[in-house]
Structure 1
Amino acid sequence: MANDNPLLSPRALPYGLPEYALIKPEHYLPAFEQAFAEHTREISAITRVRSMPTFENTVVALEQSGRLLGDVSRTFYTVSSADATAQIQAIEEELAPRMSAHRDSIQLDSQLYWRIKTLHDQLDALGLDPEQRYLVARHYTEMSHAGAGLDDEDKARLTELNQRLSTLTTQFEKNLLADTNDLAVVFDDSSELDGLTEGEVSAAAQAAIDRGLEGKWVVTLTLFTGHPYLSSLTDRHSRARLLESSRSRGSRGNANDNRATLLEIVRLRAERAGLLGYESHAAYITSDETAGSPEAVHDLLRRLAVPAARNARREQEKLQAIIDAESEPFPLEAHDWAFYTEKVRGAEYDLDRGALRPWFEAERVLQDGVFRAATELYGVTFTERSDLVGYHPDNRVFEVHNADGSALGLFILDLYTRDTKRGGAWMNSIVLQSRLRGTDPIVVNNLNVSRPAAGRPTLLTLDEVTTLFHEFGHALHGLFATVTYPHFAGTNVFRDFVEFPSQVNEMWIYWPEILAEYARHIDTGAPLPAEVVEKLHASEAFNQGFATSEYLAASWIDQAWHSLGTEEAAAGLDVAEFEAAALVEIGLDNPAVPTRYSSTYFAHVFSGGYSAGYYSYIWSEVLDADTVEWFRENGGLRRENGERFRTRLLGVGGSKDPLQAYRDFRGQDADIRHLLARRGLAD
């Protein structure tokens, strides 16, 4: 079978890139079967050792185990998130409970836990280096946190809960993808899209053709509540249709309704937390993050919510004043906010962000912006490898080299949206770096940029430029982490720290030397005018009341669901009523400022890895804003600065406590004042 299945054959491509051109859907399940069995045998070989535990016979052996399963899993889940055909979705649904059961069979293995605990109890006597000591400590903490210390009866129930939750979260994502595709807004007349650029209209026409609706125009939905086109569409009814479609996902009473699914997820997560000795799922999650407790998270969110809501109301008053001056005034509604915000931006800063797209041609942004900043800061270079094939024809593969010419890894970019790709943007790894295993990294960035009609250039919005830089920050983290043990590879850090490197990378968007290279007009090659750049800087805190409020609202909804105890979670809650009450509690119940994600399409927390952790973005932004200040104080885009950031922070991966790594880099803890100033919340 190994000879017939490319997933079970030695990888011949550079860096261990899977031969996706040869892999068929029917190859996945047999490969998983063999990988499960092999991993089980490897763990048994560790626990059957008669001699007392040592670092080599237990921890190193554990790090060497599961290699095939990791390879097959990363290969498959890269595809299932970015090209989820019906056949791939069916495989994922079948795999979900089996993957969960297998993970539990390792994490809850009593004999393995005894060996890890024995080593942990004598840690000071083992003569280990810092990475090895931290590895033992993390394995012990993670197994304890997973429930390895429970009795057999509780472990059996825990395994049942984990399997059911894996099925439910997979179902949530499947429902959301289907409903997002179904609710793409179809327009019969191009006049309904007045205000969009020629390229945006052509993209909508192409999307219609792709769906067999030639002669119409289709606008697909983004993962979050809003939509970039809301700032441009002059037809109020078109704006309303777009936002209404977005907000109705997962709550229409059809086969894709996510309400019952998320309620069961909440209930089972609460039960699991109780079984593990925690008051709530939020308490369980934050206990092994840098935050430490839900109370610490709630304190930060409440501290920011009051000034954010206040600023949003001030912004709303300005928007309403413009509407009141029109010939037919009306009360501002959520679908009007972005449109009239651009009017205020134009009046106060003489700035039309929508008109900037001709300066943000995607290829130039990538080569002369994203890649150039990395080259200037870290010395790395990027060479496209058209001879290497990714998992989809849209993939572009780049080989990355260090300044000394040594090979670093592969970077794969998957830029465009498609019906089989889940919403949003993300980074993932196909191969992890590890000295122990002798492997170098392969990382992927996925975005959801609308594909223009054939022959048209891809022009990005400023938000899409930001997303490209952000996700590439994750990619750099995955490429630069240089560790011995795969457990610490890449972005395997605490969830409320993982967004920090990606947010820092956004700073180079406006950095003069970088902006001057990539922001050039598609027709004339002229740089973005200096006065426009000044206006962009001047308006950085503009509309931050809205932006901060919508984000905090989503973070609070996440916390509200996951702060429920077992009895509260089982109380037959109404999703819409619960969400509304949560927003009232934190003072973010402004109808004109909808939450960035409502529960029924909140993929981050109900099908992704951010349950009780969506606060991570603002938590990490405290470090990010402080780091940006450090770069400014030390001369900005300099190789010395890049080397310090790479070596002391990105390069350590998960092999050191993240806050200690931050202190090593910065020389002190982060100061929240820089975040407050950035978001206009300082007063």
Structure 2
Amino acid sequence: MTSNPFFERSTLPYELPRFAEITVEHYLPAFERGMTEQLAEVAVIATAEEAPTFANTIAALERSGTVLKRVAKVFFNVVSSDSNERIDAIEAEISPRLAAHDDAIHLDPALFDRIDTLYQRRAELGLNPEESWLLERYHLRFVRAGARLNAAQQARLRELNAELATAATEFGQNNLAATNAATLILDTEQELAGLTPAEVSAAAENAETLGQPGKWALSLQNVSNQPILSELADRAVRERMMDASLSRGFGANGDNGALAARMVALRAERAALLGYSDHAAYTVADQTAKTTAAVEEMLSRLVPPAVANAEREAGELTAVMHAAEPDAELRSWDWQFWSEKIRAEQFSVDAEALRPYFELERVLWDGVFHAATQVYGITFAERPELRGYHPEVRVFEVFDADGSGLGLFLGDFFKRPSKRGGAWMNSLVSQSALFGQRPVVVNNLNIVKPPAGEPALLTWDNVRTLFHEFGHALHGLFSNVTYPFFSGTAVPRDFVEFPSQVNEMWMSRPEILANYARHIDTGEPMPAELVERMAAAERFGEGFRTVEYLAAALLDWAWHRRSTADAQADTDVESFEEEALRTAGVAVNAIPPRYRTGYFAHIFSGGYAAGYYSYIWSEVLDADTVQWFEDGVAPIREKGELFRRELLSRGGSLDPLDAFAAFRGRGPEIEPLLTRRGLNRAE
């Protein structure tokens, strides 16, 4: 193929990929040309007669592989956002080939010799701070990729990496298929009691789309506790929904459990090969946590008070439930339903009554974008003439405070069968001065699409997710680094959630909330006393949310703390889960972990293996930062500029905790997090 949209830099604004021209046929040839070109470029670097310098080795590596990086960014976003059988087939073929390609570079002895030579002489090279840090990071990456292993060890490492890449692809594809297959089909409208008319219509439309006319279809999200459980009045339907959710990936509902256990064994073997006791130790050594002991100390500190909070909540739920159903035992499918009853009765907060205040367009423009303008001075304009990778994708140009163009933001907000569950941010073009490129980023969400012609009314959780993911987008948009290695969100996994969690603070900031939370019919702002009741109602569920999260984090940790011998033994996955949660002290009745092994995409098809703890680890930094933003010492706009300059713009170009200290004036403290989550109570 001589003509391919990926072969040359796009001429569209900000080098937006040429989605109008890209077809499925372009991906594989672009991958193949990209890998071939990069290997040739690396061979020139590795075999150069000139002595190694930063420019002819490290900077040259940064310049290599432009076609490969260009196609990979687009393709893997499409894999998650709008897949199909042909995309799946390409992913299955290319993933192990990409793993082998990376190994060919990282295990090239001549190339590593040049990098090592520079590393040993780094103090005398006269490098600036970003260059020096880049050299250190390259050296560490090659060492952690096996550059110092002998030939036999490297051969085995290549096999492990290829098998893991294939397995991760299979897990992700299985998960999407299992989630779609678990869609709950209902035969009568009475079974949807508790849902709003709009939700009932959407369920009917969903069933029609799935080839089930005259029925109603409730699709699942990729979490254990389905949000719709809070509304469904029919307990039997709730139980069916929860069973469908929890059984994904196990037995007749898929084989992801066995596949996950196999991946754990492969990761444990790879960690041992590289000199680590287990995969968790290997992972955290390159994170801000540094040691497994540090992670375990934090998690162990959080578990007892979180469980105590959850048990108090369970007692309240049981009392309310028994008033209506005296003989019923509180189960997982009851928790959200009766929590909403308590919120409605004790706090006078009805989740469905809140939706008219949270219309998508208003939340986006007058909430998310408005907050970014108030804090950072940036503004937005929709560019409908620019195309995304799917008709539902919207393109916005982002302008800096001085009116200059900053980058593009793409929003892909609605759920569809071709999109994996959850929400995430991807970078389609990474900012770097080296290539003169400005950022193009995309946010994906899974908001249930309303019937044609009706507005999208969000839940409070949807609003939170919108603000959260845009925090990742800001991290990418504000990037101001020289080298693409450091661009945007290219930071340690246990730091990457920090900016996104900070951005959630603006959703409930009074002046921001008042600007977007207006009734769709009347335009009236949400009453101040309702805002106060919402805050109180949200605090009621903190025990549940913390235990649900910790259970998933500790399940991930239990899998990846296994030694090679333990991991290679036959494992009953469901029994392992039960024992892991019990040992960790989070086996709370009626609260399943946020993800079970069979659909834990974060750790088995994403990049969070032994890293799901990072959300709470990052929240320590987040809570401390929110306290700083709210201390009243300086105007918010002034603090926004400082936060952007010292942290958001720096990407991975320095130690993340140094970036934190640069704006905060000290290291992070855990007390603000304990207060936020109600974990510092004496009782």
* TM-score interval, normalised by the smaller of the two chains: over 0.9
What is the rounded CA distance, in whole Å, between the counterparts of 1:543 and 1:405 in structure 2?
Answer: 43
Write out per-residue CA displacement over residues 491-518 of structure 1, whole angstroms, 9 at most, x where no aligned residue: 0000000000000000000111110111
What is the rounded CA distance, in whole Å, between the counterparts of 2:667 and 2:563 in structure 1?
Answer: 34
Deviates more, 1:48-57 or 1:645-654: 48-57
Write out per-residue CA displacement over residues 194-242 of structure 1, whole angstroms, 9 at most, x where no aligned residue: 1111222121111111112121111100111011111111111111111
Deviates more, 1:155-164 or 1:292-301: 292-301
Q: Offset of 1:636 from its aligned partner? A: 7.9
What is the rounded CA distance, in whole Å, between the counterparts of 2:260 and 2:325 in structure 1?
Answer: 45
Cα contact 2:624–2:673 (8 A) shared by 1: yes
* Paired position in structure 2 for 1:288: 286
Q: Which amino acid aligns with 1:556?
A: L
Question: Structure 1 residue 192 and structure 2 residue 191: aligned?
Answer: yes
Superposed counterparts of 1:392-411, under 5 Å: 392-411=390-409
Q: Offset of 1:282 from its aligned partner? A: 0.4
What is the rounded CA distance, in whole Å, between the counterparts of 1:533 and 1:325 in structure 2?
Answer: 28
Q: Offset of 1:638 from its aligned partner? A: 2.1
Q: Which amino acid aligns with 1:293?
A: T
* Paired position in structure 1 for 2:414: 416
* Paired position in structure 1 for 2:497: 499
Q: Offset of 1:48 from its aligned partner? A: 1.3
What is the rounded CA distance, in whole Å, between the counterparts of 2:174 and 2:303 in structure 1?
Answer: 31
* Paired position in structure 2 for 1:183: 182
* Paired position in structure 1 for 2:433: 435
* Paired position in structure 1 for 2:307: 309
* Paired position in structure 2 for 1:11: 10
Q: Offset of 1:348 from its aligned partner? A: 2.6
Question: Structure 1 residue 126 and structure 2 residue 125: aligned?
Answer: yes
* Paired position in structure 2 for 1:27: 26
* Alignment TM-score, normalising by the size of structure 1: 0.98
What is the rounded CA distance, in whole Å, between the counterparts of 2:539 and 2:299 in structure 1?
Answer: 19
Q: Offset of 1:327 from its aligned partner? A: 5.2
Write out per-residue CA displacement over residues 310-344 of structure 1, whole angstroms, 9 at most, x where no aligned residue: 11111101111112222543111010000111122
Cα contact 1:377–1:638 (8 A) shared by 2: yes
* Paired position in structure 2 for 1:2: 2
* Paired position in structure 2 for 1:367: 365
Question: Structure 1 residue 318 and structure 2 residue 331: aligned?
Answer: no
Deviates more, 1:426-435 or 1:343-352: 343-352
* Paired position in structure 1 for 2:387: 389
* Paired position in structure 1 for 2:559: 561
* Paired position in structure 2 for 1:96: 95
* Paired position in structure 2 for 1:338: 336
* Alignment TM-score, normalising by the size of structure 2: 0.98
Cα contact 1:377–1:637 (8 A) shared by 2: no
Deviates more, 1:339-348 or 1:547-556: 339-348
Cα contact 1:2–1:9 (8 A) shared by 2: no
Deviates more, 1:274-283 or 1:292-301: 292-301
Q: Paired residues, what number?
A: 681
Write out per-residue CA displacement over residues 105-161 of structure 1, whole angstroms, 9 at most, x where no aligned residue: 112221111111111111111111111111111111111111111111111110110
Deviates more, 1:326-335 or 1:205-214: 326-335
Write out per-residue CA displacement over residues 145-194 of structure 1, whole angstroms, 9 at most, x where no aligned residue: 11111111111110110000000010001101001001100111111111
What is the rounded CA distance, in whole Å, between the counterparts of 1:382 and 1:149 in structure 2?
Answer: 49
Alignment equivalent of 1:646, drawn from 644, 647, 654: 644
Cα contact 1:96–1:166 (8 A) shared by 2: yes
Q: Offset of 1:485 from its aligned partner? A: 0.4
* Paired position in structure 1 for 2:62: 63
Write out per-residue CA displacement over residues 55-93 of structure 1, whole angstroms, 9 at most, x where no aligned residue: 111111111111111001101111111011111000000
Q: Which amino acid aligns with 1:194?
A: A
Q: Which amino acid aligns with 2:463?
A: V
* Paired position in structure 2 for 1:136: 135
Flag structure 1 segments of 5+ consecutive residues without an equivalent. none
What is the rounded CA distance, in whole Å, between the counterparts of 1:635 and 1:242 in structure 2?
Answer: 49
What is the rounded CA distance, in whole Å, between the counterparts of 1:171 and 1:62 in structure 2?
Answer: 31
SS of the aligned residue for 2:594 comes to coil
Q: Which amino acid aligns with 1:494?
A: P
Q: Percent same amino acid among aligned pairs?
A: 54
Flag structure 2 segments of 5+ consecutive residues without an equivalent. none
* Paired position in structure 2 for 1:583: 581
Going from structure 1 to structure 2, the CA distance change for 1:404 and 1:208 (only over 3 Å counts) comes to: same
Q: Offset of 1:347 from its aligned partner? A: 3.0
What is the rounded CA distance, in whole Å, between the counterparts of 2:621 and 2:257 in structure 1?
Answer: 35
What is the rounded CA distance, in whole Å, between the counterparts of 1:203 and 1:294 in structure 2?
Answer: 46
Q: Which runs of 4+ in 1 moved over 4 A?
A: none
Q: Offset of 1:678 from its aligned partner? A: 0.5
Deviates more, 1:412-421 or 1:43-52: 43-52
Cα contact 1:204–1:219 (8 A) shared by 2: yes
Superposed counterparts of 1:163-562, under 5 Å: 163-253=162-252, 256-326=254-324, 328-562=326-560
What is the rounded CA distance, in whole Å, between the counterparts of 1:386 and 1:616 in structure 2?
Answer: 37
Write out per-residue CA displacement over residues 513-555 of structure 1, whole angstroms, 9 at most, x where no aligned residue: 1101110101100111111011122334221111100100000
SS of the aligned residue for 2:251 comes to coil
Cα contact 1:436–1:484 (8 A) shared by 2: yes
SS of the aligned residue for 1:8 comes to coil
Cα contact 1:323–1:329 (8 A) shared by 2: no
What is the rounded CA distance, in whole Å, between the counterparts of 2:256 and 2:532 in structure 1?
Answer: 45
Write out per-residue CA displacement over residues 251-302 of structure 1, whole angstroms, 9 at most, x where no aligned residue: 0335x32122111101100000000000000000001101111121111111
